[in-house]
Structure 1
């Protein structure tokens, strides 16, 4: 079956108060359409703000919800999902893949972290509301209409314009031992080089928290960043998404999608944990000079950054040190910093879970 034509009357469906144009949930085939956000201001008073949605389905079977563009300046996930929409066909799928490649579409089109229309940060807006602004409407669409259909969710993030991350799966602990075991298994299946564990409900308004609240296996990523696309990280992300879909039983295992093997078993990712002492914050505005690189191991007390004041020529550079032993997991991207900016995050290495 070819793609349905977005906007046709017969292809419209209302899902939890949202009209999906070109999409009929539960229908086999490849459907390419959009959700229309309603908003009235000087620019958007006579139409809808489209959020692209694709559904690729063979009918019965498990369902995966794949999301990118939660922040508009994070690009690796967007590239992977646009490629998947073009390449994946219903006859290859056991079940359904729902893809939202530009979730905060106004932010994606502007190349900004948050929406230029309402200032909304989508990953702080769940569960949202259908009568709110555009960002709240998207959060309500994803958490209220799409998330309940899913067996597994992956929210593809990168560092954005302001930071760079180790290419990692990013998972919230809990919410119970059974859910944590499923996350650990999926993390190994996805095969990214690093896994970063964080506290339960780290961000109450995030999609990861919404997934935990709904009892749906929900994972996130941090794939490089810096407002650009890194070819090697992009390759890892491509392989990882296909491997996760195979792990969920939606795709057959394909050569080249498995994590790189080591003698006798699949390679174990490096397990890290972001803790309260991970961030190193500047108290000085000026120019940030990193003294470490991503992936470098440091010890508490090691110098990791300097900040050079701009206007006070008598002031010596400020040097900042790590507060905890661990690995450099996140580096700020822009060199110009203000008081309160995080420069570096040091993540302690933890023992791989036994699940």
Structure 2
């Protein structure tokens, strides 16, 4: 326990308003303790809802890991309001604003400690605010879960094809459960990345704990995509039903949705700027391109007689991620191209 936690008389892993052994709908918060000019003598609340009918499978639903990713936050709040414990056969734990300072600041990272929650797992209960949140989720919520869905979007800096986003493996049984969940969720695309791609992410924490974990990328651009919302409003109840947890508008044992288009992010996917200036995309999200095809250019701001620098695709595939801010610096990924993936070969 941190010295700050001792002074406040509470542990960073403590919850108010939540009894995990109780049934019904409980709305509470986890405690994050931090002493600065604003938060001294208080806690930073991390909202948590637990909706339970008693014994049965447990789903953990997380949103607001990055504060400027909004589709998942809206879906999580809707889930909290609409789930009826009497309709469940198990428990749904919902964390709608995991990095609550980032959510309130409309920022990717916490404005308190610049912490990126999705690079902070398993966390540290005696650390800074973001490390405490990671420890709260990884130490107190993740072990209760039979399945985890971590909802992301592109945020202010990028737009993604609306997709499920899954790490390979880490072993066969867990991988098959992820594939089944992706098919029930019903997003039009599914992006596959390397095992344990980001060691500090919730997906990696779930894989290391042996708990099937999938993520989403629901458009982005720092706004709300209505089409992605509607797809997820159908997909989340279907996913809960497939896990043996009944939900509104879903029947237990529901059939999977149509097969998504499977894509893979590979080392050649990023198209990276080597110039500073104004980014002009030459392709749109979802376009199919071939290696060597011009896909972007950057216009120089001060060199008025200099033509723009052109950038080409490094692999065949689909434009899966597109940068949003027009002003770029060297090293900025302008877009990502994801080759199609034959999922039957994995």
With normalisation by structure 2, the TM-score equals: 0.94
The alpha carbon displacement at 1:180 in A equals 1.0
The alpha carbon displacement at 1:15 in A equals 11
Q: Closer, same or farther in 2 for the Cα pair 1:255/1:148, shift >3 Å?
A: closer
Counterpart for residue 119 of structure 1? 114
Contact 1:303–1:322 (Cα < 8 Å) also in 2: yes
Deviations 1:284-337 (A, max 9, x none): 111110000110000001111010010111221011000000000000011111
Q: Distance in 2 between matches of 1:351 and 1:250?
A: 30
Contact 2:242–2:252 (Cα < 8 Å) also in 1: no
Q: Distance in 2 between matches of 1:252 and 1:28?
A: 16
Instruction: Count matched residues.
Output: 338
Q: Distance in 2 between matches of 1:241 and 1:87?
A: 12
Q: Distance in 2 between matches of 1:297 and 1:61?
A: 44
Q: Within the alignment, does 1:335 sit opposite 2:326 as a pair?
A: yes
Counterpart for residue 7 of structure 1? none
Counterpart for residue 95 of structure 1? 90
Deviations 1:233-290 (A, max 9, x none): 11112222111111101015836999999xxxx4210000000000000011111100
1:300-311 aligned at under 5 Å gives the runs 300-311=291-302
Q: Distance in 1 between matches of 2:255 and 2:156?
A: 30
Q: Distance in 2 between matches of 1:15 and 1:241?
A: 35
Contact 1:74–1:158 (Cα < 8 Å) also in 2: yes
Counterpart for residue 163 of structure 1? 158
Over aligned residue pairs, what C-alpha RMSD do you find?
2.0
Q: Within the alignment, does 1:238 sit opposite 2:233 as a pair?
A: yes
Counterpart for residue 3 of structure 1? none
Counterpart for residue 319 of structure 1? 310
Counterpart for residue 4 of structure 2? none
1:218-229 aligned at under 5 Å gives the runs 218-229=213-224
Q: Distance in 2 between matches of 1:257 and 1:94?
A: 10
Q: Distance in 2 between matches of 1:192 and 1:259?
A: 16
Q: Closer, same or farther in 2 for the Cα pair 1:229/1:137, shift >3 Å?
A: same
Q: Distance in 2 between matches of 1:256 and 1:302?
A: 46
Q: Distance in 2 between matches of 1:260 and 1:288?
A: 43
Q: Distance in 2 between matches of 1:259 and 1:313?
A: 60
Q: Closer, same or farther in 2 for the Cα pair 1:96/1:257, shift >3 Å?
A: closer
Q: Which runs of 5+ in 1 are unaligned?
A: 1-13
Spell out structure 1 runs of 4+ moving beyond 2 A. 14-17, 252-261, 352-355
Q: Which runs of 5+ in 2 are unaligned?
A: 1-8
Counterpart for residue 63 of structure 1? 58
Q: Within the alignment, does 1:204 sit opposite 2:195 as a pair?
A: no
Q: Within the alignment, does 1:141 sit opposite 2:136 as a pair?
A: yes
Contact 1:239–1:258 (Cα < 8 Å) also in 2: no
Three-state SS of the structure 1 residue aligned to 2:59 is: strand
Three-state SS of the structure 2 residue aligned to 1:18 is: coil
Contact 1:173–1:198 (Cα < 8 Å) also in 2: yes
Counterpart for residue 280 of structure 1? 271
